[in-house]
């Protein structure tokens, strides 16, 4: 595990996956355009050492390839680390052996719990002159009217509840930002337990697993901080806010902005060129008043860019898919696999199931929509023998096994993501589910469903050598 961003950067540097640039680059359009082209062309991570009107170094494209995601945490390792949690949920306590096994699993899980520490690298430097315009907020598209922080992780807490995630932040002036906090976000839900002022910490550059997990919508009631600890192999070390009370954040971060969100102080935010590839509408969001800035010596601040896929957020989505898939298996044992194609923007889910009873595909659709209501605009359900990442197989199942009247479910007037440009009312649209599974007799008028054609095994064995000779030519 990489303990912080710098360990990860050293790894990238040692594997020739990091380039450091001395040329002067502007935060206005230039830096974003460079990072998009680098990511589209499968390029390395980039550290910009000479950013105009910026007091820090800037790093981008940290997660811009599948190999980089695998180097942080492979799919098999994600499954293994979440297995401890799954085993506890599944144990039926048939005897003393099950109890002993569960105690052992609890020991492993206990290491994932967060802990508070007195100090950390993020508090090495206190910034006496507070001016967030000197930090790497970028303007990345010509139609944007302001600069935005794109990779700041907002931490919010209330009592023992802590949550964190990426929410873009539009810079207003030296001490104020606008928090793009959509109503359905879990962090917004926690924030609204406060009255008017919500203490927050906006963190830049913690360890890579925590950075990746900030983008993952963990289904309720599971706890993101705990799941992150499981994946890290140990819990997050938190320090307490110094200028604002009742907020904590990772001690190993590069920089933190402490402040308060004025929930009732709403101002227009946007437009912003979003991951959907269009400008998001101008809507009102709350103001953040900055109270303090702390950092490590010579901090390195991450940024990310948006646009039509696949960019860095698409590879981060693959990481999230792997995590969510394993958690869903804990909740619904019939789920075999889940694919959230990066080109589908998080709006298309393809899920395979072990089908045992009529209507089961529709039940799985409803489960997915209930857990993460605004995502998964289109859910396609296929049988367990279908590779959900092979779109040829998926398209075949849709073509061969979908009767539109029977197998397509449309739910009108449903919450959607505000960034989805297809909905006539922002944040309020519809869902469609496609049951592309083979049908049981109860779903097929009481008749047996047509059988798949399969080759004769004896014949295939007999002619396999002939086929090999032909293909070798």
Query: Rounded to whole angstroms, how far apart are CA atoms 174 and 179?
Result: 15
Alpha helices for 372-456 (secondary structure H):
391-401, 404-407
Smallest Cα–Cα separation from 417: which of 407, 428, 409, 408?
A: 428
Contact by Cβ (8 Å): 174, 224: no
Q: Which pLDDT belongs to residue 96?
A: 44
User: Catalytic site residue 274?
Assistant: yes
pLDDT reported for residue 196: 78
What are the CA-CA distances from residue 73 to residues 100, 213, 238, 320 (Å)? 29, 12, 22, 11
Give the CA dihedral 353, 358, 362, 366, nearest 10 degrees.
-90
**Pick from 187, 186, 199, 177: nearest CA to 285:** 177
Two structure tokens written together for 318: 């693959």
| Model confidence pLDDT, tens digit, residues 102-122 | 545 556 667 888 999 998 999
Strand 115-116 to 237-240 pairing: parallel
pTM across the whole model: 0.89
Instruction: Report the pLDDT averaged over residues 276-292.
Output: 92
Q: Residue 90 has what pLDDT?
A: 54
Q: What are phi and psi of 30, to 5 degrees?
A: -65, -50
Mean pLDDT of the 276-300 span: 93
8 Å CB contact between 190 and 156: yes
* Element of type H or E holding 381: strand 378-383
Percent of the chain with pLDDT over 90: 68
Q: Going by DSSP bridges, is the β-strand pair 279-280/272-273 parallel, antiparallel, or unpaired?
A: antiparallel
Residue 424 pLDDT greater than 90, yes or no: no
Q: Which domains does the chain have, with CATH numbers?
A: 5-303 (2.30.110.10), 332-443 (3.40.1670.10)
Q: Return the higher-pLDDT residue of 82 and 394.
A: 394
CA distance 473 to 470: 6
User: In Å, how far are 54, 62, 99 from 6, measured between CA atoms?
Assistant: 20, 12, 41
Three-state DSSP string of 245-297? CCCEEECCCCEEEEEEEEEEEEEEECCEECCCCCEECCEEEEEEEEEEEEECC
* CA-to-CA dists, residue 273 to 37, 142, 148, 154, 170, angstroms: 16, 9, 11, 20, 12
pLDDT in tens, 160-174: 788 899 999 999 999
**Between the CA atoms of 42, 47, 49 and 54, what dihedral angle is there, to the nearest 10 degrees?**
100
Structure tokens at 197: 């002022």
Q: C-alpha 119: how far from its chain's center?
A: 28
Q: How confident is the model at residue 95 (pLDDT cuts 50, 70, 90)?
A: very low
Residue 131, pLDDT above cutoff 50: yes
Q: What is the pLDDT of residue 185?
A: 61
Question: For residue 360, which of 377, 338, 376, 382 has the smallest C-alpha distance?
Answer: 382
For residues 423 and 194, which has the higher predicted lDDT (pLDDT)?
423
Q: What is the mean pLDDT of residues 358-383?
A: 90
Q: Please give the residue that has the higher pLDDT: either 196 or 235.
A: 235
Closest-CA residue to 141 (of 275, 300, 39, 3):
275
DSSP conformational letter for 354: -
The packing angle between helices 312-331 and 224-232, to 10°, is: 100
Q: How many Cα atoms occupy the beta-carbon half-sphere of 428 within 13 Å?
A: 4
- Whether 462 shows a pLDDT value over 50: the answer reads yes
- Distance CA(300)–CA(245), nearest Å, equals 26
For residue 206, give both structure tokens: 């913690």
Catalytic residue among 67, 159, 196, 274: 274
In the numeric block, which tokens belong to residue 383? 């049988």
With a cut of 90, say whether residue 186 has pLDDT above it: no
Mean pLDDT (the chain) is 90
Q: Which two tokens stand for residue 171?
A: 């810079």
Per-residue pLDDT for 197 more than 90?
no
Residue 218 is classified by DSSP as P
């Amino acid at each position: 595990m990489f303990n912080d961003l710098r360990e990860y950067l050293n790894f990238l540097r040692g594997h020739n996956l990091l380039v450091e640039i001395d040329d002067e680059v502007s935060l206005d359009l230039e830096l974003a355009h460079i990072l998009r082209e680098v990511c589209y062309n499968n390029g390395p991570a980039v550290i910009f050492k000479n950013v105009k009107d910026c007091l820090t170094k800037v790093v981008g494209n940290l997660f811009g390839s599948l190999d980089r995601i695998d180097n942080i945490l492979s799919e098999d390792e994600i499954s293994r680390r979440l297995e401890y949690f799954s085993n506890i949920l599944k144990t039926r306590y048939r005897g003393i052996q099950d109890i002993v096994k569960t105690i052992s699993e609890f020991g492993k899980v206990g290491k994932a719990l967060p802990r508070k520490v007195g100090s950390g690298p993020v508090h090495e430097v206190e910034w006496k002159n507070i001016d967030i315009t000197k930090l790497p907020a970028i303007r990345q598209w010509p139609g944007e009217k302001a600069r935005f922080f794109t990779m700041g992780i907002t931490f919010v807490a209330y009592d023992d509840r802590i949550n964190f995630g990426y929410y873009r932040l539009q810079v207003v002036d030296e001490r104020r930002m606008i928090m793009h906090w959509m109503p359905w976000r879990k962090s917004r839900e926690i924030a609204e337990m406060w009255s008017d002022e919500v203490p927050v910490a906006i963190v830049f550059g913690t360890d890579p697993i925590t950075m990746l997990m900030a983008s993952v919508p963990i289904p309720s009631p599971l706890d993101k901080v705990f799941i992150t600890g499981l994946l890290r192999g140990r819990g997050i070390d938190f320090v307490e806010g110094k200028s604002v009370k009742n907020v904590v954040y990772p001690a190993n971060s590069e920089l933190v902005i402490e402040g308060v969100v004025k929930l009732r102080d709403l101002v227009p935010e946007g437009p912003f060129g979003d991951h959907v590839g269009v400008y998001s509408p101008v809507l009102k969001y709350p103001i953040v008043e900055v109270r303090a800035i702390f950092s490590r010596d010579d901090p390195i601040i991450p940024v990310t860019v948006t646009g039509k896929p696949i960019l860095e957020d698409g590879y981060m989505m693959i990481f999230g898919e792997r995590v969510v898939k394993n958690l869903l298996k804990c909740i619904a044992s019939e789920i075999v696999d889940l694919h959230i194609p990066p080109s589908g923007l998080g709006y298309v889910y393809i899920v395979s199931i072990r089908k045992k009873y009529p209507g089961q595909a529709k039940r799985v659709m409803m489960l997915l929509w209930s857990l993460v209501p605004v995502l998964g605009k289109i859910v396609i359900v296929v049988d367990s023998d279908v590779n959900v990442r092979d779109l040829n197989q998926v398209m075949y199942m849709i073509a061969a096994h979908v009767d539109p009247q029977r197998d397509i479910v449309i739910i009108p007037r449903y919450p959607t993501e505000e960034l989805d440009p297809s909905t006539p009312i922002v944040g309020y649209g519809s869902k469609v589910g496609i049951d592309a599974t083979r049908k049981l007799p109860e779903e097929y008028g009481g008749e047996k469903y047509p059988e798949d054609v399969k080759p004769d095994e004896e014949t295939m064995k007999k002619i396999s050598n002939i086929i090999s000779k032909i293909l070798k030519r």
